[in-house]
Structure 1
Amino acid sequence: MRLGYSPLHSLITAAVIGIAIALPTAFWLALDNFQRATGGWEDGAPQISLFLDRGTQDSQLHDIAGQIDSDARVAGVETITPEQALAEFRAETELEAALELLEENPLPPVLIVTASTDLDPQEVGELANELAQNTHIERMRLDQDWVNRLHALMSLTERALGALAIMLAIAVILVIGNTIKLTIESRREEIEITKLIGGSNGFVRRPFLYEGFWCGFFGGAVALLLTEAARLSLKEPVQRVADAYTGDIALQGVGLTDTLVLLFGGGLLGLLGAWLAVGRHLKIIEPR
C-alpha cells in the first residue's frame, strides 16, 4: 500500500473524507439522541381524555378502564373520579369560597388513556374514535396537534438527512476518484512498463483498489473521531440543559455496529471511487 509514501497527502485526503462522512453521521447521531431523549413520545405520549356520563358509578368507571387497558394499543389508563377531580381543582385554584356554594359536584368522571408509543398519529386518531363509541362516554378529547407536528418534523429531518448522506457519499467517491487519478498519472510510466511485460489490467488495477479502500477506511476512522469529539464537547452543556429541566439526558455515542458501518462503509465508498477512476484511465494508458 502506497499511502505511507506520502503521509501528508494521505492524511489530508483522509481528513477531507472524514469531514464529509462525519457531517451526516453527526446529524444522524443528534437525531437518534433526540428520539431517545423524548422516548418516542416521552412523558407527553399521546393521551386521550374520555369524559363519562356524570351518572357513571365508580365500579362502572373501573370496569370501563379495565376493558380499555386490555387493548394492545393502550399503554395505560388513569381513572379520575369526580371527587378526585374536584379535590385537584380545589388544590390548584383559589376558588375555595366559590366551590363551597356548589350544591353538587359538576365534574364528570374522566379516563386518561395513554396510547402506545408504537402507534403513528393516524392510528392514535382511530383508537380515540373507537373509544368514543362507548355509550358511557359523552365527550372525547385528543391532544394530537403537537404529535402530528413532531411526526412530520421527524420525517422531514430523516429525509433531509438521507439526501445529505447521498450527496456527501458522492463527494467522497469523487474525492477518492480524483486522488487515484493523480496517483495513476504519477505512475504512468510504471504502468506502461508493467503492461509492456505482460501485466494485465486486473494486475495493474489491484493496488489502486487497495489504496482507494484504505483511504475510505481511514476517512471513516477520522469521521468516528470527529463525531466522538463533538459528542464529548457537548456532554457538559447538554447535562446543564437537562438539569435545568429536571431531566436526565445522556448523549449516546456511536455503537459497535455503527462503528463498523462507518469504517467499512467508508472503505466501500473508497473502493467504488477507485474502481471508477482506474477503469476509466487504464484504458487510455498503453505501452508506446
Structure 2
Amino acid sequence: MSILFSGRASGARANKIGAVRRFLMFFVHHFRQAIASLGELWRTPMASFLTILVLGLSLTLPATLHLLVKNAQQIGGGFAKAAEINLFIRDNATDQQIKSLVTILSADSQVASVTHISKAQAMAEFQEASGFGAALNYLTDNPLPDVLVVLPNNTDPAAARALMQQLSNERIVEFAKLDLEWLTRLEAVVRLLQQAVIAIGLLLISAVLFIVSNTIRLSIISKREEIEVMKLVGATDAFIQRPFLYTGFWYGILGGVLAFLVSEGLLWWLRGAISDITSLYQSDFQIQPMNLIEFSAVITLAVLLGVVGSYLAVRKHIRAIEPSGP
C-alpha cells in the first residue's frame, strides 16, 4: 500500500513539474520568436525603415493636432479666468447708490470680486494711456462714467453671459459689456480641430493598416518555400504566424516612438510662435508637451495597428500556402 501511495505522489510531482516546465517554455518560445523577428527587421533595414517611417509619420499628424487642441483649450481656459464684466453706471447715480450696489454684488455668490473705477480714476488712466495729456484738462465736464469691474466665479462663457444679463437689469446700470466673442470663436476653432483629429486619424489608421498588411504579405511571399517546409514537418499555422505578428509588434513600437519624437519636435519648433501670440495678451502660458498617458496611448495605438495589420495579412496568406506534392 505504501508503495502505491508513493507512486501516486511521485506521479503528481512529475505532473506538476511538467506543467511548470510547459508554462515556462511557452514564454521562452515567445521570447525567442520576438527576438528573431526583431533580427529579421535588421536583416531588411531599408524595407523595415520605410514601413516604420510611414507608420510613425502617419501617427504624427493626429498626435500633433491633439497637442495643439489641448494647448488651445488651456489658452482659452486661462484667458477665460480673466474674463470681466464691465458695468457702466448712469450719470445721475449717486455715490451712495454705487456703494450700495458694490456691497450687494460683493455678497453675491456668483461674483468673485468687484472693483469700482470712479470717473476721476478713469480720466486719469485715459490721460496716461491716450497721450492727449494736458489737452484733456480743457474739458469742462468729465464724460467718462463710473465703472464697476465684476469678476464672476464661473468664467464659463454661457454662465458669464447669464450673469451679465442679470447685472444689466440693475437700476443704476446704463449697460453691461462682456468681451467674450473672441473666446467663443476660439472654442469653435478648437471643436473644429477636434473633429479634424478624429477624421484625419481614421483615414491615417486605415492607411497604416493597409501598409503594414502589405509589407507583411510581401514578407510571407518571400518566405513561401520556408513556410511550405515548416508545414511539411508539422508546424501549425499559429506557430508560423507568430513571428510575423511580432514583426508587426516591433513596427508599432518603433513607429510609435518615432511619432512621439516628431510630434515633440514640431511642438518645440512652434513654441516660439505660440509664445509671441500669448505675449500679446500678457499671458505667462507655457506650452504643454505630451504627458505619460498620451505617450502610452500613442505607443498602444501604434502597436495595435502593427499587430492588427500583420494579423490581417497572415490570416489570409499563410492559410493559403500548402505544401506542393512530390
Could you say whether these structures have the same fold, taking a TM-score greater than 0.5 normalized by the shorter chain as the test? yes
Q: Which moved more, 1:162-171 or 1:223-232?
A: 223-232
Counterpart-to-counterpart distance in 1, 2:257 and 2:180: 42
Aligned position for 1:96: 136
Structure 2 residue corresponding to 1:55, chosen from 76, 80, 94? 94
* Counterpart residue identity of residue 263, structure 1: I
Aligned position for 1:226: 262
Aligned position for 1:114: 151
Q: Secondary structure at the match of 1:214?
A: helix
Q: CA deviation at 1:196?
A: 3.3
Change (3 A) 1:77 1:285: farther
Aligned position for 1:262: 298
Q: Secondary structure at the match of 1:204?
A: helix
Q: CA deviation at 1:63?
A: 0.7
Q: Secondary structure at the match of 1:49?
A: strand
More helix by share: 2
Structure 2 residue corresponding to 1:10, chosen from 39, 42, 48? 48
Deviation per residue, 1:143-176 (Å, 9 max, x gap): 2322222221111122112211221122111111
Counterpart-to-counterpart distance in 2, 1:118 and 1:192: 68
Change (3 A) 1:31 1:10: same
Counterpart-to-counterpart distance in 2, 1:244 and 1:67: 34
Change (3 A) 1:251 1:142: closer
Q: Secondary structure at the match of 1:18?
A: helix
Q: CA deviation at 1:60?
A: 1.0
1:188 and 1:285 in contact (8 A); partners too: yes
Change (3 A) 1:280 1:78: farther
Counterpart-to-counterpart distance in 2, 1:147 and 1:245: 13
Q: Secondary structure at the match of 1:12?
A: helix
1:41 and 1:117 in contact (8 A); partners too: no
Counterpart-to-counterpart distance in 1, 2:226 and 2:42: 18
Q: CA deviation at 1:181?
A: 0.9
Aligned position for 1:182: 218
Counterpart-to-counterpart distance in 1, 2:154 and 2:70: 16
Q: Under a length normalisation based on structure 2, what TM-score does the superposition of the two structures give?
A: 0.74
Alignment of 1:68-107 (within 5 A): 68=108, 70-71=109-110, 74=111, 76-93=113-130, 94=132, 95-99=135-139, 101-102=140-141, 107=144
2:227 and 2:240 in contact (8 A); partners too: yes
Q: CA deviation at 1:206?
A: 1.8
* Alignment gaps of 5+ in structure 1: none
Q: CA deviation at 1:211?
A: 1.0
Aligned residues: 280
Q: Secondary structure at the match of 2:215?
A: helix
Counterpart-to-counterpart distance in 2, 1:4 and 1:181: 18
Q: CA deviation at 1:133?
A: 3.5
Counterpart-to-counterpart distance in 2, 1:129 and 1:249: 30
* RMSD (Å) for aligned C-alpha atoms: 2.9
Q: Which has the larger radius of gyration?
A: 2
Deviation per residue, 1:183-212 (Å, 9 max, x gap): 111122222333333333322222211111
Q: Which moved more, 1:21-30 or 1:239-248?
A: 239-248
Structure 1 residue corresponding to 2:77, chosen from 31, 40, 46? 40
Change (3 A) 1:122 1:212: same
Q: CA deviation at 1:253?
A: 2.5
